[in-house]
Amino acid sequence: MQTSTDAAALAALIRHLEAMPPVAALQPRLLDWQPGRLRLGAPLQANINDKGCAFGGSLTSLMTLAGWGLVTLTLERAGLHADVFVADSQVRYLRPVFEDLDAQAQFEDPALADTLLHGLRTQGRGQAMVQAQVRLADGRSAATFSGRYVAIARTD
C-alpha cells in the first residue's frame, strides 16, 4: 500500500532523475513501486544501438538507477535523508533486448533494508546489496546486476 509519503517520494525521485541530463536521455519512467521492489522502464527508441537492440550502457544505467531509486525510496519511507551512491557493481548481459526496457531492483535479502536503516540511524551511514535485472516480455532475463549501495546521512 502506498502512502502520501510514498507519493511525495516518488514524485521527488522522478524530478531528480529528470534533472540529470544523461539520465533524462534514457527517458526512464516509473513502472511500479512496492516496498522492497522498484521497476523502471525506458523506451527502446531512446536507447537503441547500431544493431537495433538496446545499448548495453542503457541496460546497466537503468538497472543501476532502479537500485539507487530503491534505496532512496526505502530511506525516504523511513523518514531518513541521505546521499546514496553505488559503491561497486557487476553486470552480466544475457540476451539482446529488441523491446522497451523493463528493469526491476530488489534487495538481495529483504532483511538488508532493515540493516541499511539501522546503520544510517546509528552510524550515519549504511549499505545494502541490491539485485536488479532487465526482463524481456516473455519473462527471460536479458541482463543482471548486483550492486552495493552506500547511504551517508545528510546533515541539512
Per-residue pLDDT reduced to its tens digit, 61-85? 999 999 999 999 999 999 999 999 9
What is the rounded distance in angstroms from the CA atom of residue 156 to the CA atom of residue 134? 35
- CB-based burial label for 40 (10 Å; 0-12, 13-18, 19+): buried
Poorest-pLDDT segment among 6-10, 12-16, 46-50, 53-57: 6-10
Q: With bands split at pLDDT 50, 70 and 90, how would you rate the model's confidence at 3?
A: low
Q: With bands split at pLDDT 50, 70 and 90, how would you rate the model's confidence at 51?
A: very high
pLDDT in tens, 7-39: 788 888 888 888 888 889 999 999 999 999 999
What is the rounded distance in angstroms from the CA atom of residue 71 to the CA atom of residue 75? 6
Q: What are the structural domains of the chain?
A: 4-153 (3.10.129.10)
pLDDT in tens, 84-131: 999 999 999 999 999 999 999 999 998 989 999 999 999 999 999 999
Task: Tell me which residue has cell 538481495.
Answer: 108
pLDDT at 2: 54
Q: With bands split at pLDDT 50, 70 and 90, how would you rate the model's confidence at 5?
A: low
pLDDT at 54: 97
Mean pLDDT on 40-67: 97
3-state secondary structure of 71: helix
